[in-house]
Amino acid sequence: MIVPLALAQFTASYAATNMNVAISNIAKDLGTTVIGLQTTITLFTLTMASLMIPGSKLTNIWGRKRCFVIGLVIYGVGALLASLAQGLGLMIFGYSVLEGVGSALMIPPIYILVTVAFPDVRSRAKNFGIISGAAGLGAAAGPLIGGVITSAISWRASFIVQVLAVVTVIVLTPRIADPGVSGRRPAFDVTGAVLSAVGLFFVVLGILQSSSYGWFVSRKDFSVGGTVLIAKGGVSPVWLFIAVGAAILAWFFWHIRSRQKAGKEPLLRTALFGNRTANLGLGTQLIQWLVMQGSFFIMSVFLQQVRHYSAIETGLMLTPATVGILASSAAAERFAKRHSQRWLIWVGFVITSAGMVLLLALARAHSSIVTFWPGLLAIGIGVGTMLTSSVNVVQSSFPEQDQDDISGLSRSVSNLGSSLGTALAGSILAAQLVPGNKSFALTMVMLIVIALIGLVIALLLPKQKAGVLAPEPQASTASR
């Protein structure tokens, strides 16, 4: 059953990165601008991140396998429409909206189904390793595969490949074992879904705007409808978006608390946020995806702008990282047998940080390509080692009846980390805080510092023996 689930996760991760290398080709064919295509990619990220929690909750109403298939169908239709687009409007509807909605419906069931199907630590670690490896591989190999397909055939073929992948997964779905949801199916909290989606939308949108306006001082006028709301040199509008999102999310927390006190089913149970182990695990997840996407982004930009590599050459240069992710993810079961999840997470952060230090020390604008390999390989090994363990810690901190809630929250945190990593790296590069190519080094230093913060969070996780996922007393609090 793991094959269709891993293929679905790979496809969704691939969709988030492969467009970057085909922007110029798509913009020319559709008669639009690069900015228009960047907006399309941003909207895809926003849609997926903002709907992940409501999408996860629907698994407990529609059923996990059914929700997974519905998400696949919506995603496949979106990819097909994007491949046929003759203008930006249909591209946004197909790629940004339908693929984003489809991803939000099909990704949470993947992690829920693995959690409930594999109760023992070693088999769960092995299969989470495959899923996490597929996620990391899709994100890392997206630019290479997208570049090859775009160069050899057309950017439209890249969307057709996604359609074929979706059809393949649907054909394989009878292999997926779904024990079903026990108990009565709860009513869907529409108000909570709207508040969480809109709140996350504004937070992620604010983070993504940092590349254009900067984090503190606005680099240009911020206008709405031709009216300048914030002049150049004023406070960055990033904080305006984040403040609006934070206010709406505060309203969301008040709503779910009130609904729970009234004896009604909320979108998320407040007890989920009282589990220390899960909260620390979510913190490591956010930083892992931030560091991975941020480092891949900075390396891609460096290779294309400084070394003037093509899309295919850039993808090939990132291959050591892809190999590292695959190798360490494949060894997840063996690692879980010998070491605790806490140990694997903090060792992953150490190896990832060491890889970024190696890139900083060895790689130069005109150095041999070999100087990039040790750092990229170490980053891949480190990321692959800890991605699986963090997912294991978070998902295993709760019983089966809470898997729909925690899965959506976990995926939202991962998407937030991905958006934050790209936005932070892009904003520092755009700010040009230091002359020449030193902005790339400054960005890498920032990512190293953030990885070390992740290491500190990992060290705060409760100590466990090898093969133990989470303390049992904490695992039962959310279901009360």
465 exposure class (CB count in 10 Å sphere: 0-12, 13-18, 19+):
exposed
What are the tens digits of pLDDT across the range 169-212? Answer: 999 998 887 776 666 777 789 999 999 989 988 988 888 787 77
For 87, the 3-state DSSP assignment is coil
For 77, residues 6+ apart whose C-beta sits below 8 A from its C-beta are 94, 98, 102
With the C-alpha atoms ordered 186, 191, 195, 201, is the resulting torsion angle positive or negative? positive
Q: What's the confidence (pLDDT) of residue 434?
A: 53
Q: Which of 443, 332, 303 is nearest to 392 (CA)?
A: 332
Say if residue 215 is in the same domain as residue 330: no
Lowest mean pLDDT among 96-100, 154-158, 263-267: 263-267
Given a contact cutoff of 8 angstroms between Cβ atoms, the answer to whether 168 and 42 are in contact is: no
Q: The tokens 């909260």 sit on which residue? A: 279
Same domain, 52 and 135: yes
Query: What DSSP string runs through 285-321?
Result: HHHHHHHHHHHHHHHHHHHHHTS---HHHHHHHTHHH
Last residue of a domain, one of 248, 266, 284: 266
Residues 252 and 318 placed together within one structural domain of the fold: no
Q: Are residues 238 and 325 in the same domain?
A: no
Is residue 238 located within the same domain as residue 271? Answer: no
The answer on 434 and 380 residing in a single domain is yes
Condensed to tens digits (0 to 9), the pLDDT of residues 287-342 reads 998 998 888 878 877 887 788 887 677 778 888 988 888 888 777 778 877 888 88
Indicate the residue among 209, 241, 266 that finishes a domain: 266
Q: Are residues 328 and 455 in the same domain?
A: yes
Look up the pTM and report it.
0.81
Distances from the Cα of 8 to the Cα of 126, 300, 332, angstroms: 17, 25, 20
DSSP reduced 3-state for 384: helix
* Total domains present in the chain: 2
Task: Tell me: do 79 and 166 sit in the same domain.
Answer: yes
Are 14 and 24 in the same domain? yes
- Which of 79, 103, 227 has its CA nearest to residue 160? 79
* CATH code: domain of residue 271: 1.20.1250.20
CB 138 within 8 A of CB 158: no
Give the residue numbers spanning the domain of 326. 2-189+267-479
379, 431: one domain: yes
Greatest CA separation for the chain? 65
The predicted-structure confidence for 70-101, as pLDDT tens digits, reads as follows 999 999 999 999 999 999 999 999 999 999 99
The per-residue DSSP string of 402-431 comes to GHHHHHHHHHHHHHHHHHHHHHHHHHHHHH
Last residue of a domain, one of 250, 266, 282: 266
Q: Are residues 179 and 196 in the same domain?
A: no
CA distances from 61 to 65, 183, 262, 267 (A): 11, 11, 20, 12
The DSSP-derived string for 181-248 is: --SPPPPP-HHHHHHHHHHHHHHHHHHHHHHHH-SSB-SS-EEETTEEEE-TTSB-THHHHHHHHHHH
